Structure 1
Amino acid sequence: MTGFHADPAALEELARRLEDAAEEYGAAADETSGPGDLGPLVPDALRAVTDEWADRIRAVQREIAATAASVRTAAQVYRTGDAGVVEELRRADG
């Protein structure tokens, strides 16, 4: 035994929390992007800056969402592997 243990349920919970964080980043990007009509006194530079911030926030959102998908996949792999081991043990006992 290597002493290594994976908890698929904990991985699923982590994936859910990461997905929630990604949604929050998406909402933040939406609020940051294009500050709306601020009138003629606000230069285009402000819009360019806020759009850049929104793009960076969306990049973080995509990374978090991809991490969540990877964690969810790992949970499924461990769950499938555990099920395979249980099935092999049943056949060996049978």
Structure 2
Amino acid sequence: MSGFHADPQALDALALRLADTAEEYGAAAVALEAPAGECGPGPVAAALTALTGKWSGRIRAVESDFAAAATDVRTAAKAYRATDAAAAEELGRADG
């Protein structure tokens, strides 16, 4: 037996944590994107809008990275399950 072992259930749990984290980043971005109300004179409001827009974009990028990582981890878990099932089936044929 090889020294490598994949735990699809642990990968599923990791994917869930990554997806939850992505959602938290998404909520933070939404909070920044919401109108702040009266922020002062036009130039102050414009500067604040530009700043929060920049931060929101960066947070959205992190959200996207976490979501992509969650998808990749789910894909890996699925691949490990499929490989394990195929190997078990093949070994069953070899014993028969």
The count of corresponding residues between Structure 1 and Structure 2 is 94
Deviation (angstroms), 1:2: 3.4
Structure 2 portions without partners, runs of 5+ = none
Which residue identity is paired with 1:15?
Answer: A
CA distance in 2, matches of 1:2, 1:84: 17
Deviation (angstroms), 1:65: 0.4
CA distance in 2, matches of 1:78, 1:33: 40
Structure 1 portions without partners, runs of 5+ = none
Deviations 1:49-68 (A, max 9, x none): 00110110000000000011
Aligned structure 1 segments of 4 or more residues deviating by more than 6 angstroms: none
**Alignment correspondent of 1:17:** 17
**Alignment correspondent of 1:8:** 8
CA distance in 2, matches of 1:67, 1:58: 14
Q: Percent identity?
A: 56
Which residue identity is paired with 2:16?
Answer: R
Deviation (angstroms), 1:32: 1.1
The normalised TM-score by structure 2 is 0.90
**Alignment correspondent of 1:66:** 68
Which residue identity is paired with 1:3?
Answer: G
**Alignment correspondent of 1:32:** 32
CA distance in 1, matches of 2:17, 2:7: 16
Given that residues 19 and 64 in structure 1 are in contact (C-alpha distance below 8 angstroms), is that contact kept between their aligned partners in structure 2?
A: yes
The normalised TM-score by structure 1 is 0.92
Given that residues 8 and 79 in structure 1 are in contact (C-alpha distance below 8 angstroms), is that contact kept between their aligned partners in structure 2?
A: yes
Deviation (angstroms), 1:36: 2.8
